[in-house]
Amino acid sequence: MSIEMKTNYGHIHIANEVIAAIAGGAAIDNYGIVGMASKNQIKDGLTEILGKDNFTRGIIVRQENEELHIDMYIIVGYGTKISEVAHNVQAKVKYTLEQTIGLAADSVNIYVQGVRVTNPS
């Protein structure tokens, strides 16, 4: 599925994978984020930190009634305030999507899948 935009020059189709990649890149730039987690972690029982190539496995992009909803599965660093990290991720993802592709996300839902101790280096 893709998002369709109409401009004066024609139609633009943006794949959900592109939106997920932009959102994932914006999310991991935030302080307190160790990485993205797989959305299937509950079934697997394993916490897997996804690399940049696999952001789409940890992000669900949904379009319902002309609204854009993003579900993100993240792993936070130990000792950080989880609510503050989640709020910062939401704000950064919304801002980045609006500035990059001109789409305003109606909701960015954060699911914390784990807490990890980060390396001080």
Number of folded domains that form the chain: 1
What pLDDT sits at residue 44? 47
Q: State how far the Cα of 10 lies from the Cα of 1, in Å rounded to an integer.
A: 19
What pLDDT sits at residue 23? 92
- Burial class, 111, CB count within 10 angstroms (exposed 0-12 / middle 13-18 / buried 19+): middle
Parallel/antiparallel/unpaired status of strands 67-77 and 10-15: unpaired
Q: State how far the Cα of 80 lies from the Cα of 40, in Å rounded to an integer.
A: 24
- Is 121 inside a domain boundary? no
CATH code assigned at 75: 3.30.70.1350
Cβ proximity of 105 and 5 under 8 Å = no
pLDDT at 42 over 50: yes
Q: Which residue range is the domain that position 82 belongs to?
A: 2-116
SS3 for 52? helix
Average pLDDT, the chain: 83
| b/e map 6-41, b = 16+ CB within 10 Å | eeeeeeeebebebbbbbbbebbbebebbbbbbbbeb
Q: Kindly report the pTM of this predicted structure.
A: 0.80
- Is 12 inside a domain boundary? yes
Model confidence band, residue 49 (pLDDT cutoffs 50, 70, 90) = low
**Per-residue pLDDT averaged across 45-71, rounded?**
73
